[in-house]
Amino acid sequence: MIVDMHAHTAMSDGTLSPQDLADFMGERKVEVFSISDHDTLAAYGNFVPPPGSQVVPAIEINTTWRGNEVHVLGYDVPLEDSPVTELLAYNREQRRVRAETMVERLRQAGHQITLEDVLRESGGALAIGRPHVAKALVRLGLTESVATAFRDMIGGGKAGYVPQLYTTPEHAIEKIAEAGGIPVLAHPGRLKDRILVDELVPHGLRGLEVFYPLHDEADTREFRETAKRYGLVMTAGMDFHDIRYHTKGVGMEVDSEDLKPFFELVKVAV
């Protein structure tokens, strides 16, 4: 079956509107999907799913663990006030403070950029991120591309770099579970230290994003075994943001049996 439980809209750091992303899912014949914007659920209520598709409400919460950024997906979370709401407000405020500090440091380094330039690139997004700063730098002619912006200006050790100060993954997992949602660790293959999986299970981690475009066969095999060892469900997602950088688009084909335990948790019939 074709699914995609991880995708982003312009409500965070994607480029498509919620409706355009939902339509894209329809074009790719995605049967079950989630919009999992960073630190906001604002996409929900702003799109109509394609006929025949099923939608699982989701969010991606940015967290900080030992100086590293870790993303926790929350599935089937309430769209109204819940234990997750306060956590999201905290993260969004940290995002704005980080953007302000990045702009200040870039200006100190001689680059003529303002917070207004960054907010213009965000298009009203509730969750401001480094990609918005990068896009502003490109638009202002201060660098060639988003990739060079990260490499030369706002990546680790560069003039505009500011470390993230989000909530912890343990706290995010606990709040998602408290809200009645299913906490899943996003793209574990991108972790700098995979021991984190072992540490998060006792805090209520329920799943792993085993199927992911940047996971090679060895990664997929390892995370499948890890999921089995801890009794975690497996999920699949493309992590789509922008067709210019995510050329494979949305939707991936996965054996329905692999995702059946997850779908049972979120009450999706397949």
Query: Cα(first)–Cα(last) distance of the chain, in Å?
Result: 9
Task: List CB contacts of 214: < 8 A, sequence separation 6 or more.
Answer: 187, 189, 190
Q: Mean per-residue pLDDT for 16-32?
A: 98
| Vertex 125 angle, CA 119 and 126, to 5° | 105
Where b means 16+ CB within 10 Å and e means fewer, 17-52 reads bbeebbbbbbebebbbbbbbbbbbbbbbeebeebee
In angstroms, the CA 129 to CA 133 distance is 7
Q: Could you tell me the pLDDT band of residue 78, with boundaries at 50, 70 and 90? A: very high
Q: Could you tell me the pLDDT band of residue 55, with boundaries at 50, 70 and 90? A: very high
Place of tokens 């972790």: 191
Q: Could you tell me the pLDDT band of residue 3, with boundaries at 50, 70 and 90? A: very high
Q: Mean per-residue pLDDT for 87-105?
A: 92
233 pLDDT exceeds 80? yes
126 pLDDT exceeds 80? no
Q: Could you tell me the pLDDT band of residue 41, with boundaries at 50, 70 and 90? A: very high
Structural domains for the chain: 2-78+169-265 (3.20.20.140), 88-154 (1.10.150.650)
67 pLDDT exceeds 80? no
Q: What is the pLDDT of residues 148-184, one digit of tens each?
A: 999 999 998 999 999 888 899 999 999 999 999 999 9
Q: Describe the strand order of the beta sheet including 182-185 as a list of residue ranges.
A: 58-65, 68-75, 182-185, 207-211, 233-236
